[in-house]
Amino acid sequence: MSGRYAFVLAGGLGTRLCLLSERRAKPAVPFGGKYRIIDFTLSNCVNSGIYDVGVLTQYHPTSLHRHIGIGRPWDLDRTRGGVQLLQPSLGSVTSDWYQGTADAIYRNLVHLRPRRAEHVLVLSGDHVYKMNYNLLYAFHQANHASATVAVTEVPEEAVQSFGILETDARGRVVGFQEKPRRAQSRLASMGVYLFDRAAFTQWLVEDAERSDSRHDFGRDLLPRLVERGEAVYAYRFQGYWQDVGTLDSYYDTNLALLSDQPPLDLRDPEWVIHTQSADRPPVRFEAGGRAERSLIANGCRVAGRVVRSVLFPGVTVLRGATVTDSILMHDTTVGKGAAIDRAILDKEVVVGAGGRIGWGEASTPGRACPEHLSNGLLVVGKGAHLPEQVTVGRNTRIGAHVTVDDFSGDVPAGGVIHGPDPEH
């Protein structure tokens, strides 16, 4: 296992997650009751014996840096190897920010120089899955590949959201289209790439010198390699993999964990998903408190009723309150007699007593972001305080850090309450 190195791309804008990623990097978004999205990629690395990892960050990196720290939960706090957080060096060149995924790796090739790795593993930090990368390495070497792309089969209606690969009978890639409207193949790139180091370095240098390139793996580098006949192969992954880049997919993937046989087994002792965990007291159910088919994290206090929901550490549900089909993040409080339905509440939200959050018809799309809020979900930003007895309709967006004074009454379906500018 020695001599292996992985780059984790964790710096892209997560605009499709709406409020959840306006103030944090998408890989740092909380998931599954106690994790962050990036925990799955980092855990896959260490469970596969890869203990030398560079995490490339960029937009809103503070919470991600704070979460990863020195890498102790993943056994990545090492003198040799371990985890490095690689942020762009602002002010050093005219164009400071990474221009694309390939450009991000190109600017960090210096970190490969002292390492003995013959291959370079490039991963996305914003997908939920469990994968043994040793099988990927074995496939790559058995096919004498220069580049291997892990792929999974997606429904026909979803091909326009992914890079789609066409292969021959031996698995060699003969076509690569980035987010096509239609495609004959349904093999989608998982954002998991394995490259031969020498060829990879040369390809990145060539790409950096091209003025017509957007310096992106899916849009530029990989299609170019396939077109000129390089040995690019597709490794078919048979396990569960989910891109949680939209509010709907994030919500559905969280709630899928509540089924009797969830598609992703978080209890597997052979493949532990490691994370940074704060010390919290045990869950407390008070008189009248109950939960059905839910994930309840440490530090929660339940005096009301929780049904088909995910509660992160420190959530409080007071007497007479109900939480249904919802995701409540750290230290959120649901007041007495309040009702939450089909909602995502970020950290430290306070819902006043008697409030009804997620009410009425779902046909009116969100006014502020109809592309994200059109299926009945509503989202409440971090630190928002909602007044007592307020009714909030579906497909609404309640901004981070709004106060009770920002409300002039009930919020209709598709409505919006703007919070402070996320940049301030």
| Closest to 402 in 3D by CA, of 413, 340, 390 | 390
| Sequence ranges of the domains in the chain | 5-256, 284-417
CA dihedral for 171, 172, 178, 180, sign (positive or negative): negative
| Closest to 313 in 3D by CA, of 325, 327, 326, 296 | 296
- Cβ within 8 Å of residue 128, ≥6 positions away: 31, 32, 37, 40, 241, 242, 244, 253, 264
Each of the 424 residues of the chain gets a pLDDT tens digit; together they read 457 999 999 976 667 788 999 889 899 999 999 999 999 999 999 999 999 999 999 888 888 999 999 999 999 999 888 999 998 765 444 456 678 899 999 999 999 988 989 999 999 999 999 999 999 999 999 999 999 999 999 999 999 989 999 999 999 999 999 889 888 899 999 999 999 999 999 999 999 999 999 999 989 999 999 999 999 999 999 999 999 989 999 999 999 999 999 999 999 999 999 999 889 999 999 999 999 999 999 999 999 999 999 999 999 999 999 999 999 999 999 999 999 999 999 999 999 999 999 999 999 999 988 988 999 999 999 999 999 999 999 999 999 999 999 999 999 999 999 988 765 4
Q: How far apart are CA 337 and CA 346, in angstroms?
A: 20
Q: Is 111 left (phi over 0), alpha (psi -120 to 50) or beta?
A: alpha
SS3 sequence of 57-89: CCCCCHHHHHHHCCCHHHCCCCCCCEEEEECCC
The number of CA neighbours under 13 Å toward the Cβ of 234 is 28
Q: Which residues are annotated as a binding site?
A: 98, 163, 178-179, 189
Q: Which amino acid is at 232?
A: V
Q: How far apart are CA 216 and CA 214, in angstroms?
A: 6
- Where are the alpha helices (H) located in 92-171, listed in sequence order? 101-106, 133-142
Q: How far apart are CA 357 and CA 340, in angstroms?
A: 5
In terms of CATH architecture, what is 284-417? Answer: 3 Solenoid (2.160)
Note if the pTM is more than 0.85: yes
Distances (CA, A) of 240 to 127, 131, 136, 243, 273: 11, 9, 15, 10, 14
Query: Which two structure tokens, joined as six digits, stand for 195?
Result: 């490259």
Q: Which residues are annotated as a binding site for alpha-D-glucose 1-phosphate?
A: 98, 163, 178-179, 189
CATH 3.40.50.2000 is right for the domain spanning 5-256: no
| Closest to 122 in 3D by CA, of 99, 101, 140, 98 | 101
